[in-house]
Structure 1
């Protein structure tokens, strides 16, 4: 016997805001959640699974129109024609309190009640699925505590949308403990709500499949569902079923050895090339690039974040065409010479460091600096204002962060130049 366990599909969610990113692959983002779900349905039919479990957050709140519901009904119809039943539990995003639109679902889709826990039985397989849907989005009671006892001699599956414990990044809906689930006597817990894949236990099996398609950089790496195999002896194995169509990745580029901007770009290009070579499929990549390291180029890079992004976008286009998109570039380098090393040296640079260290405590100086910078930014062209995020802080008179950033970069550049280097 085989079944698919999936959750956190969030149909049509990638439409929300992502298309506003510069140079974003809008068409790919627009259809990513649907295409990933279609791939899952294809896999279910190809594998001839006995049933599918959806453990909550099928939708992403109320539909903008009926097309979202029509798409789901159509995909369920494909499973119905293949003789594959589906057991659907509603989570916080598709709770009854969140949904105002409904469509009649095909006969193969079986819902879990939101008023009390219920059990669906598959007599031919001697499988019992226990679960309870969310009635309200903010369900903070322990739903698992009321789940029925396991049926003796059957394969018992608990379906639950929960933050469980220890997942601070997720709202604590339907909270319960892992020990509590293990003590229930079920063979498998099909969980949802946490978007990262996690196998928390094998005795019994307690599994978060993760979400089906990454929607932003916080959901990086491969995404999909799980394929579970079982026999009369119980669950035999769980394997990931990767179906995402666009993948988010973080790329750390260490530029410690770079002396200038061209050297930084060369290292970034090589890192992007290696990232592409490491892929085992041809899915598009949305990449956040972090330029980091203690580098002689630190001072030379100050204020060039916008230019760096454009240069790296060009590198990405040359290497990957439409397959590679730079979601964001973050410049997180530090000076090759630390404050202690500069301070230990005699001369004008050490004196300048001491002076700069006192600047943040000089209220009159900081106020005058803010006023001068505000006058400067008022005359700046629009493209420069948009290119430098520091301008937003200047407008509200917050120059402390700018001083803290500029001072080390200035000292590093001067010290670098003093040593006779470019």
Structure 2
């Protein structure tokens, strides 16, 4: 017996972080969640699964476009014609959705009640599915404690949308512990809400399949669902990779680079290697440069030039498969401050001035007074992406000088060579 377990589909939820760029794949961004869901349905049919479980957040909040629901019904119709039932549990985002309340679903879609735990039985397969949907967006009760005892002689599946022991990255909805889930005595727990794949093969198999399609740079790597095979009393869990546009974060160690050209070529090599896995899946990539490098001075303050160099590398690889989300510079200069201080020239004098300035209360207050009004106008959403601006907005000019000084000195020293 085989079934597919999916969760956190967020159908028609927009992908964030690329739309501002002229080379962004607009159509793929707009349709990614639908295409991934269609691939899920196609895989269910190809595998001949007994049923599909969706463990919450099919929709994405108070989304009023009924075309989203109509698309879901069309895909469910494909499964109905293939004789595949679907067991749908509503999560916190579904509880907000107008379609959850109003749209009539095809007959092969069975939902779980939000009033109390409900059991769906597949007597021919001897499978029992236990679940309770969210009534409201913020369910903070431990729903798992109310789930019924397993049906004797059946393969028992618990379906639950939960943070599970307070996942730090997600709201603490329907909190519970793995020990509490094991105590129910079920064979498998089909969970949703946490967007990263996790699997505990203990007394019960407890599984988060992760979200079906990454929607932003914080959701990197392969995404999809899981295929569960039950044979001779044993449960096997296999990941299915179904995302149609993948977010990647590439960390590049620029320690051996001496110029921007060296950095660009190294980035190009790592981006090319990225496509060695699932080359058919387009990537939206964030590149972060790290390391103590002689190229630091050549890179500092050259964000536009650096981005253009990386885009050039992507163009050479083929930008129908790669799109650049952002380039972040987190390198450090090779020259130590002590090395600079040992010199008897203007650069050493400048270091002394910068050192004194970063701890001079009168100078820092003057900077605050004159510059704060300008930094205060910078949009708040820029703060996270530009740490130096964040320091300025917060009035931390002492730390700002300490951050900028090494790069400025390194850049001047590179200019002497």
| Kept after mapping to 2: 8 A contact 1:98/1:136 | no
Q: Is 1:274 matched up with 2:296?
A: no
Residue aligning to 1:227: 227
Counterpart-to-counterpart distance in 1, 2:95 and 2:48:
30
| DSSP 3-state at the match of 1:189 | strand
CA deviation profile, 1:269-316 (whole Å, cap 9, x unmatched)? 22222222x223311010000111101111221110122112211221
Counterpart-to-counterpart distance in 1, 2:355 and 2:326:
32
Compute the displacement of 1:236 (Å). Answer: 2.6
Counterpart-to-counterpart distance in 1, 2:298 and 2:399:
19
Counterpart-to-counterpart distance in 2, 1:141 and 1:392:
37
Counterpart-to-counterpart distance in 2, 1:64 and 1:410:
52
Residue aligning to 2:354: 356
Compute the displacement of 1:202 (Å). Answer: 3.7
Counterpart-to-counterpart distance in 2, 1:397 and 1:376:
12
Residue aligning to 1:405: 403
Compute the displacement of 1:172 (Å). Answer: 0.5
| DSSP 3-state at the match of 1:64 | coil
CA deviation profile, 1:231-279 (whole Å, cap 9, x unmatched)? 3x43431101111101111111111122222222222222222222x22
The 1:17–1:336 alpha-carbon spacing in structure 2 relative to 1, beyond 3 Å, is closer
The 1:285–1:53 alpha-carbon spacing in structure 2 relative to 1, beyond 3 Å, is same
Counterpart-to-counterpart distance in 1, 2:222 and 2:393:
41
Structure 1 segments unaligned to the other structure (5+ residues): 378-387
Counterpart-to-counterpart distance in 2, 1:210 and 1:193:
8
| DSSP 3-state at the match of 1:282 | coil
Structure 2 segments unaligned to the other structure (5+ residues): 376-385
Compute the displacement of 1:102 (Å). Answer: 2.3
Residues 12-411 of structure 1 mapped to structure 2, 5 A cutoff: 12-14=12-14, 18-95=18-95, 102-231=102-231, 233-276=232-275, 278-344=276-342, 348-369=346-367, 399-400=397-398, 402-411=400-409
| Kept after mapping to 2: 8 A contact 1:97/1:136 | no
| Kept after mapping to 2: 8 A contact 1:292/1:331 | yes
When structure 1 is superposed on structure 2, of 154-163 and 200-209 the one drifting more is 200-209
CA deviation profile, 1:127-177 (whole Å, cap 9, x unmatched)? 000000000110000000000000111100000000001510111100000
Compute the displacement of 1:409 (Å). Answer: 1.1
| Kept after mapping to 2: 8 A contact 1:187/1:234 | no
When structure 1 is superposed on structure 2, of 6-15 and 151-160 the one drifting more is 6-15
Counterpart-to-counterpart distance in 2, 1:70 and 1:214:
22
When structure 1 is superposed on structure 2, of 256-265 and 280-289 the one drifting more is 256-265
The 1:416–1:69 alpha-carbon spacing in structure 2 relative to 1, beyond 3 Å, is same
CA deviation profile, 1:63-90 (whole Å, cap 9, x unmatched)? 2311000000000111011110000000
Counterpart-to-counterpart distance in 1, 2:111 and 2:90:
8
The 1:20–1:177 alpha-carbon spacing in structure 2 relative to 1, beyond 3 Å, is same
Counterpart-to-counterpart distance in 2, 1:368 and 1:153:
77
Counterpart-to-counterpart distance in 2, 1:249 and 1:100:
32
| DSSP 3-state at the match of 2:116 | coil
Counterpart-to-counterpart distance in 2, 1:11 and 1:235:
33
TM-score (norm 1): 0.89
Counterpart-to-counterpart distance in 2, 1:16 and 1:405:
29
| Kept after mapping to 2: 8 A contact 1:61/1:99 | no
Residue aligning to 2:381: none
Residue aligning to 1:385: none
| Kept after mapping to 2: 8 A contact 1:6/1:212 | yes
Counterpart-to-counterpart distance in 2, 1:165 and 1:327:
33
When structure 1 is superposed on structure 2, of 121-130 and 8-17 the one drifting more is 8-17
| Kept after mapping to 2: 8 A contact 1:292/1:334 | yes
